Amino acid sequence: DGGITQSPKYLFRKEGQNVTLSCEQNLNHDAMYWYRQDPGQGLRLIYYSQIVNDFQKGDIAEGYSVSREKKESFPLTVTSAQKNPTAFYLCASRLRTGIYNEQFFGPGTRLTVL
């Protein structure tokens, strides 16, 4: 089945630790995205990548880092510099051939800082 996978589903982190969230897609999509969702709020863009080996900051990039070494993979690292990392993290991908293409989302990773 084609789709987007995120792992782990739940992640617990101690303060001061870096953690990496995985996002993999087999849809052959060019663009990939990371969003953060807090309770009762909408999605806020952290980082996005339009092609391999390139990525841009979104609206709330501070305290996060990404890499895009392969088309299928777009891991997100939540660093110790992120002061309030507890949230639901969503990865998405999109085919870039044409303007009007929706983003497809993964199942999400819930990160809790202990």
Q: What does the binding site for another protein look like in residue numbers (CB under 8 A)?
A: 4, 6, 31, 40-43, 45, 48, 50, 58, 90, 92, 94, 96, 99-100, 102-108, 110
Q: Pick the closest to residue 107 from 25, 18, 48, 49 (CA basis).
A: 25
- Which of 72, 79 has the CB closer to another protein? 72
Residue 1 Cβ vs another protein, minimum distance, rounded to whole Å = 15
Residue 90 Cβ vs another protein, minimum distance, rounded to whole Å = 5
80, amino acid identity? S
- Which of 37, 79 has the CB closer to another protein? 37
How many of the other CB atoms lie within 10 Å of CB of 14? Answer: 9
- Which of 57, 70 has the CB closer to another protein? 57
Backbone angle region of 3, left / alpha / beta, with phi > 0 → left and psi within -120 to 50 → alpha: left
Residue 2 Cβ vs another protein, minimum distance, rounded to whole Å = 14
- Which of 58, 80 has the CB closer to another protein? 58
| Contact predicate 90/46, CB 8 Å | no
Residue 102 Cβ vs another protein, minimum distance, rounded to whole Å = 5
Alpha-carbon distances, residue 86 vs 15, 71, 81, 98, 103 (angstroms): 11, 28, 13, 35, 24
